[in-house]
Chain A
Amino acid sequence: MKQSITLGKITKFMGLGFLSSLKDLFTGKLEKEDYVNFLRKVVVPLASVLLFIGLWHMGSQSLYNIEAEFKIEKALNDQGPAAAEAMRECIASGDVSCKPNTLPSPTQVWDSYKSLLRDHNIISADKAAFIEKTAALNEKRIAEGKDAITYTGRPSFVDQIFRSLKTVFAGFLLALVIAVPLGIFIGLSPTLKSSFNWFIQIFKPVSPVVWYLLVFMIVKTLLIDSNEDSSFTISFISVGLCSMWATLVNTAMGVSSVDKDYINVAKVLKLGNFQKIFKVVLPSSLPLIFTGLKITLSVAWMVLIAIELLAQSPGLGLFVWEEFQNGANDSNAKIIVAMFVIGIIGFLLDRLMLTIQNWVSFDKTDAI
């Protein structure tokens, strides 16, 4: 009993409260009055997911038909009735050469997902084998002072997910390190605020693409002597610069709008600046700072895809772009898989921030 209460609390704490009612279903603990709740929290969302998949299926089916009709008609106009008939048969047979290229259906996407996982397993096995094979040689090379031989094969889809996460966290940390202290200074000093305000207002709406180009200009020159691949550096800095504004603005606002009563208490007690900032100002602005950080993380994840694509930095963005350029039979389905993966990871990142916010913040009701 106690176990289930704590579990329920933990899931609720993490903003995953809906999971606990799902668990109740399987443990058979539902009371009569819980049914309405259960209906609302589990059945209705589940039904909406099914409805979504159904609509998607029908939509892709009709797009497929439009595309097929167009192909047949084109064959008819260009090459005559015989070619049209041949095209019709070809499409019906499901042959790759004449398959209509459009929005993939849910089943195709699911198949692609499985094939991407298979591909990952193959690549991982290959990589493990490579490492095993080169282990002895590498030891020798390191002893001789040479660089070790590393695996340079194609990254799998899962590798790219982790690479993207790494980029986004590096960018997020950069944003945190710049925006929070700067926000505190701006919030504390009206002079700094007015000197930085134009800067914030002008740079906040700048598009990720332009940030990327700016960072590219600077980093390219700074790393001119380096042989290292600078795409990771460029992409994480761009992500950080794009996404830091929400944190900067929120921190400054939180710090400058600390309840006047708290400030008066600090004044009456003659707290020093250090104490005032760390014991009064920061704790009281934490909810707003975290709201900013949450927005920053989700913006970072959102712009990451575009920036990876531009920077040619391996990751989900590059994956999507390469699949689009690739134009293979299942490319569209893979793009949709990537879309879902991006969405789900974005959701989980948001929950992660919410959990940390609940953990450190005094005001439990503030977090949404």
Chain B
Amino acid sequence: MATIIKDKTNVTLTENGLFPSSEVMLDLKNLKKVYPTPKGDYVVLEDLNLQIKKEEFVTIIGHSGCGKTTMLSMIAGLNPISGGNISVLGKHIKGPGPDRGVIFQAPSLMPWMTALQNVLLGVNQVFPDATKKQRNDIAKYYLQKVGLEDSFNKRASDLSQGMQQRVGIARAFAIKPKVLLLDEPFGMLDSLTRGELQDILIEIWNKEKITAVMITHDVDEAIFLADRVVMMTSGPKAKIGDVLDIDFERPRTRKSVLEHDDYYKYRKHLIDFLEH
């Protein structure tokens, strides 16, 4: 089985400690976010620098309110940038677009549409030149991948929360984005369903290798899914506090990760950071 080891050591860094630009998918430079308040400006993020390589899965962890979600929605283009810039493959982003797919915390499906229609909403938009059948096939393929082959024509409002989030995953992958942004996608689910969905997510991801940035509160989830865990300092003026490389081989299974010698070392590292 071919395994890809995503490790900083595999890449030769440039002189100033950055990745060479040919390797970088997503680049945040001196990112700043300011909310004006009556008492003066409130600086959420300041001098935030982060490079994410192609085909990398990065999880972001930090205390509530530290600005993780703000950062993600700025990458998605849903929240204006106050300073610095964000670029995808070297191009500065301007507003939202389907090159950056988002899986929201709430499934955010249109409840009046069926599972298939929800996925097609994006597919139709991204592949306008494909035939109707081709677009249907794409949508159905991804719905099958998330285990919903029996629920194509069920209304989203009739699906359980977990099932809805599966549709959300299918919708995000089906539009073939360059970057996938996940905003605590499993935060609202019970732990059993969360585990199932993590497996589904990582299975699809192993096939598609779409550069992914995921926010999570869950230390185990962060380690299980990521090539790198990015730790953010508490706000205001939050920035990147620390970055931890996770050197587990892919594809991973939950069992192999839990049994790995380094697992508790990584876990301790993250918890130490969060507690200080």
Q: Indicate whether A162 reaches chain B with its CB closer than 8 angstroms.
A: no
Contact A362:B155 (CB < 8 A) given known A267-B96, A270-B97, A279-B121: yes
A283 shortest CB reach to chain B, Å: 5
A117 shortest CB reach to chain B, Å: 45
B97–A283 contact, CB under 8 A? no
Q: Indicate whether A280 reaches chain B with its CB closer than 8 angstroms.
A: yes
Which residues of the other chain, A, contact B82 by a CB distance below 8 angstroms? none
A72 shortest CB reach to chain B, Å: 69
A259 shortest CB reach to chain B, Å: 8
A284–B112 contact, CB under 8 A? yes
Which segment of B11-19, B102-110, B199-207 sits at the interface? B102-110
Contact with A along B67-105 (1 / 0, CB 8 A): 000000000111000000000000000011110111010
B120 shortest CB reach to chain A, Å: 10
A265–B78 contact, CB under 8 A? no
Residues of A within 8 A of B (CB): 259, 261-262, 264-265, 267-271, 275, 279-280, 283-284, 286, 361-363
Q: Indicate whether B256 reaches chain A with its CB closer than 8 angstroms.
A: no
A265–B97 contact, CB under 8 A? no
Q: Indicate whether B134 reaches chain A with its CB closer than 8 angstroms.
A: no
Q: Indicate whether B153 reaches chain A with its CB closer than 8 angstroms.
A: no
Which residues of the other chain, B, contact A283 by a CB distance below 8 angstroms? 110, 112-113
Contact A261:B121 (CB < 8 A) given known A267-B96, A268-B101, A270-B96: no
11 contacts between A and B (CB under 8 A): A264-B102, A265-B102, A265-B110, A269-B122, A269-B125, A269-B126, A270-B96, A270-B125, A275-B125, A286-B112, A363-B157
Contact A362:B112 (CB < 8 A) given known A268-B101, A268-B102: yes
Besides the known contacts A268-B78, A279-B121, A361-B112, 16 further A-B residue pairs in the complex with CB atoms under 8 A apart = A261-B104, A264-B78, A265-B102, A267-B95, A268-B76, A268-B77, A268-B101, A269-B121, A269-B122, A269-B126, A271-B121, A271-B125, A283-B110, A362-B111, A362-B112, A363-B112
Q: Indicate whether B58 reaches chain A with its CB closer than 8 angstroms.
A: no
Cβ 8 A contact of B175, one of A267, A269, A362: A269
Which residues of the other chain, A, contact B101 by a CB distance below 8 angstroms? 268
Q: From B76, which residue of chain A is reached at the shortest CB distance?
A: A268
Which residues of the other chain, A, contact B96 by a CB distance below 8 angstroms? 264, 267-268, 270
Cβ 8 A contact of A264, one of B104, B125, B157: B104
A284–B104 contact, CB under 8 A? no
A35 shortest CB reach to chain B, Å: 33
B108–A262 contact, CB under 8 A? yes
Which residues of the other chain, A, contact B106 by a CB distance below 8 angstroms? 261
A268–B121 contact, CB under 8 A? no
Bound-state Cα–Cα, A271 to B76, Å: 15
B93 shortest CB reach to chain A, Å: 12
Which residues of the other chain, B, contact A275 by a CB distance below 8 angstroms? 125
B111–A265 contact, CB under 8 A? no
Which residues of the other chain, B, contact A270 by a CB distance below 8 angstroms? 96-98, 125
Which residues of the other chain, A, contact B110 by a CB distance below 8 angstroms? 262, 265, 279-280, 283-284
Which residues of the other chain, B, contact A286 by a CB distance below 8 angstroms? 112
Which residues of the other chain, A, contact B121 by a CB distance below 8 angstroms? 265, 269, 271, 279
